[in-house]
Amino acid sequence: MNRIEVKDLNVYFGDAHILKDINTEIAKNTVTALIGPSGCGKSTFIRTLNRMNDLIPNFRHEGDVYLDGKDIYNPKMDVVDLRKKIGMVFQKPNPFPKSIFENVAYGLRIHGVSDNDKLNQRVEESLKSAALWDEVKDKLDNSAMGLSGGQQQRLCIARTIANNPEVILMDEPCSALDPISTTKIEDLIHKLKTEYTIIIVTHNMQQATRVSKYTSFFLNGEIIESNLTDKIFIDPKNKKTEDYITGRFG
Ligand SMILES: Nc1ncnc2c1ncn2[C@@H]1O[C@H](COP(=O)(O)OP(=O)(O)OP(=O)(O)O)[C@@H](O)[C@H]1O
């Protein structure tokens, strides 16, 4: 079953044609990896899925993006609600300069949760889901800025989970992390995929093979090939995919 369907999507920033005729589907409760050389449009693509590009003044798109059959660019779509359903984790951990607790409670508060028991419960559940609870449960009032980079990234994942999303977009979530923190995030992705649809942009081919079921290869704003990750890496159909994964360019 597909959670996201993209039909004839073209994206422009001013005169620059950034994404070209993208047609793809993202399966529910699986991990899809997006690979491709720098500047080929991977971040722009995932930012199109939760309408983050709307914030860029010269952004324009053609085509359709459906979340569970609903057109997300329909003028009636509530964008705040959409971003709650499609959460995002960025390359560099970006906790708020607030306590660990308040970072996770933030989204709940802005969505109107004020009951303390409910807040405590959701913060604990989210930190547990993000595999961070044991490390922070005795210092929830400490500043999030005092956590390590890897812990901060898991906190950002907890902050996203607290909003009860359906999809989590991850834009190179491990690129600023050391190998041990990277392994923790990858383990977490394995755990989360049973409940969430995850799309991860990565430059690390091994990471794509470790975490994802499906992979799409982007080049110059186009999807060159999408398939099961094993197929993409063992038996790519397109010569350009083969050249990229074997390190001949990019
Ligand atoms: N706000 C913007 N205005 C104009 N052009 C932009 C804007 N943001 C990105 N671009 C351009 O869009 C293209 C795609 O960029 P994007 O960040 O999506 O690529 P990427 O594949 O994610 O790259 P990387 O792997 O380096 O993060 C690039 O040519 C970039 O310069």
> What are the extents of the domains in the chain?
2-97+167-245
Contact of 153 with 93, CB cutoff 8 Å: yes
pLDDT in tens, 65-111: 999 999 999 999 999 999 999 999 999 999 999 999 999 999 999 88
What is the Å distance from ligand 1's center to 105 Cα? 32
Mutate to test the pocket of ligand 1, among 43, 47, 52, 202 (most ligand atoms within 8 A of CB): 43
Take residue 35 and report the two structure tokens written for it.
């690979």
Does the structural domain 2-97+167-245 have CATH classification 3.40.50.300?
A: yes
Q: Any idea which residue has 């952004």 for tokens?
A: 59
Q: Which of 10, 22, 42 to mutate to test the pocket of ligand 1 (most atoms within 8 A of CB)?
A: 42
Residue type, 87: G
> What is the spatial distance between Cα 147 and Cα 215, in angstroms, rounded to a whole number?
32
Instruction: Please list the alpha-helical segments (H only) found in 86-196.
Output: 100-110, 116-129, 133-136, 149-162, 179-192
Written as tens digits, the pLDDT of the chain (250 aa) is: 679 999 999 999 999 999 999 999 999 999 999 999 999 999 999 999 999 999 999 999 999 999 999 999 999 999 999 999 999 999 999 999 999 999 999 999 988 999 999 999 999 999 999 999 999 999 999 999 999 999 999 999 999 999 999 999 999 999 988 999 999 999 999 999 999 999 999 999 999 999 999 999 999 999 999 999 999 999 999 999 999 999 887 5
Greatest distance between any 2 Cα atoms in the chain: 57
H or E stretch including 47? helix 42-49
Q: What is the pTM of this model?
A: 0.94
Q: Ligand 1 atom 7: the closest Cα is on which residue?
A: 13
Nearest to 108 by CA among 87, 131, 138, 90: 87
- Closest C-alpha to ligand 1, atom 30: 39
**Complex prediction ipTM:** 0.95
Residue 127 CA to ligand 1 center (angstroms) comes to 32
